[in-house]
Amino acid sequence: MTTSLFNLLALAQAQTPVPHDIPLPLPADRGLLVGVLIVMFLVHLLFVNLMLGGTLLTAFFQGRSIFTGSKDDDRLAYEIAKTITVSKSLAVVMAVAPLLAINVIYTVYFYTANALTGYVWISIVPAIIIAFLLLYLHKYTWHYDFMQRHRKLHLSILLIALAILLFIPFVFLTNINLMLFPDKWAQVKGFFSAMFINSNVLPRFLHFFMASLINTGLFMVWYVGRPSMDVANKFTQVTTADLKRRFYRLATVSTLFQFIVGPLVLFTLPSVGLSMGLYVTIGVGVLFALLALMLLSKEINAEDAVIGSYFKPIILLLSVTVLCMGTGRHMFREKALVGHSYDMRKKTAAYVVARDAAYELWLLEQEAGGGGLDGKSLFTAACATCHALDKILAAPALIEVGELYKDNPQGIVDWAKKPGRKRLEFAPMPTMAHIGEERLTAIARYIIEATGHAKPQSPTQDVETKVINSQ
């Protein structure tokens, strides 16, 4: 990127609040974290789609059975309802990796968006809990006599859960959208102002909604085709081929709608994140979707005996489409944040310089006041944020460090100057080389003494220590 472009970006973001980043190394290679974010988010999204799509289809078929009296619709609704809570559990588990990845890669952006949407963002937690409990209540009371006599009440339980599940994506999409536009942060006055900060949230929600119907439709094609489904004995007026064709139609119609909603999403994205690479990636995804659409048409018109022959190719083609869309989303995110990331790197560098200078000044003041190289004071100023004597904070307790280095205080100094990562449960330690060899030595001695591992000094060592402390 040229200097002139950086100057333009800096001018465009002159009114943008630019915080400094956390000056710590990433816990893994950034490319690996990005790969985890893209792939695992898509896996998480798949099960979210199946949960929402399953809830929608259950509500549709159960509602229709109430008003038409169709036993087949009621049986089908129950079969779909049995899958919802499983999809829910997998969606929750698969959310851990992408949530951790986005927190690590885009820490400042993600947390800022969370803070700006405040109570509504944090309300996701109780909302999800309520929705999940309602889904379980609906599923496990299906055959209760009371619910069979009050089927509309039973359906209303599911509809409340559905309403919550439809609202949560709005919150998530608003936050993810907001984190990409730091120049808008100062304008946000709560969740709803963040939702309408640009026109992209609603199209993205429609895109997500249609994807839920596509994925659920294809999942149900597989689900009803299992031998254990036993369609011939459970249903009276439909066959396995009929059900497969029904769900293939759902997937096909929803895919056709994506050809309308997709361009709407693309054209409502702010130009700051658009690039030729993004257009090419999306174009490749669209090409594979067109091929899948052709096979979907063949499946709908296939004879009963061979319906399902193209199921695996359809899944493969649409998987490529989804991967392209996920990659394109990341490409837009990276380009949209490039200017602000550059500004933040400069702010972080300035912060580190100011931090180190302030610490050096404090040390000089301490030493000028007669404190000398007091290991305890130095430890309190430089290390106590992460280390405590006998408990774990953000790093191992001192008693563990003292035991490890009881015969090698220089090992503490060497580690502090060029730390690595020994234990995955702790973040990598930042270098403390700027403190200086003598001060690190004083800290190391304090750690050894404080943990009860100090050895009696010889008179010569005692004199040497006094000389060092007087310098």
pLDDT at 97: 96
Regarding whether 142 and 171 lie in a shared domain, the answer is yes
Among 116-125, 141-150, 157-166, 369-378, the minimum mean pLDDT is found in 369-378
DSSP string, 50-63: HHHHHHHHHHHHHH
pLDDT for 100 beyond 50: yes
- Best CA proximity match to 77, nearest among 9, 174, 154, 181: 154
pLDDT for 53 beyond 50: yes
Q: Is 17 inside any structural domain?
A: no
Cβ atoms of 154 and 141 closer than 8 Å: yes
Regarding whether 110 and 78 lie in a shared domain, the answer is yes
β-bridge mates for residue 392, sequence order: 387
Token representation of residue 62? 């159960």
Q: Is 261 inside any structural domain?
A: yes
For all residues of the chain together, what is the average pLDDT? 89
Q: Calculate mean pLDDT across residues 270-279.
A: 94
Regarding whether 264 and 161 lie in a shared domain, the answer is no
Q: Is 13 inside any structural domain?
A: no
Regarding whether 221 and 82 lie in a shared domain, the answer is no
The C-alpha atoms of residue 239 and residue 325 are separated, in whole angstroms, by: 35
pLDDT top residue among 6 and 54: 54
pLDDT at 94: 97
pLDDT at 45: 97
Distance of alpha carbon 73 from its chain centroid, rounded?
37
Q: Is 272 inside any structural domain?
A: yes
Number of domains composing the chain? 3
Q: Is 180 inside any structural domain?
A: yes
Regarding whether 451 and 430 lie in a shared domain, the answer is yes
Token representation of residue 114? 């969370």
Where does the pLDDT of residue 372 fall: very low under 50, low under 70, confident under 90, or very high at 90 and above?
low
The predicted-structure confidence for 305-325, as pLDDT tens digits, reads as follows 999 999 999 999 999 999 999
Regarding whether 207 and 140 lie in a shared domain, the answer is no
The C-alpha atoms of residue 126 and residue 172 are separated, in whole angstroms, by: 14
Q: Is 329 inside any structural domain?
A: yes
pLDDT at 436: 85
- Best CA proximity match to 205, nearest among 156, 170, 235: 170
pLDDT at 263: 95
The C-alpha atoms of residue 347 and residue 353 are separated, in whole angstroms, by: 10
Where does the pLDDT of residue 356 fall: very low under 50, low under 70, confident under 90, or very high at 90 and above?
confident
Q: Could you write out the three-class secondary structure of 203-248?
A: HHHHHHHHHHHHHHHHHHHHHHCCHHHCHHHHCCCCCHHHHHHHHH
Where does the pLDDT of residue 380 fall: very low under 50, low under 70, confident under 90, or very high at 90 and above?
confident
Regarding whether 82 and 120 lie in a shared domain, the answer is yes
Q: Calculate mean pLDDT across residues 331-352.
A: 92
Regarding whether 386 and 327 lie in a shared domain, the answer is no
Residue that terminates a domain, selected from 195, 222, 246: 195
The C-alpha atoms of residue 176 and residue 197 are separated, in whole angstroms, by: 12
Q: How many CB atoms lie within 10 A of CB 329?
A: 22
Q: Is 10 inside any structural domain?
A: no
The C-alpha atoms of residue 308 and residue 243 are separated, in whole angstroms, by: 11
The predicted-structure confidence for 411-450, as pLDDT tens digits, reads as follows 999 999 998 778 878 878 888 888 888 889 989 999 999 9
pLDDT at 204: 96
Where does the pLDDT of residue 165 fall: very low under 50, low under 70, confident under 90, or very high at 90 and above?
very high
Note down the domain range covering 300: 198-336
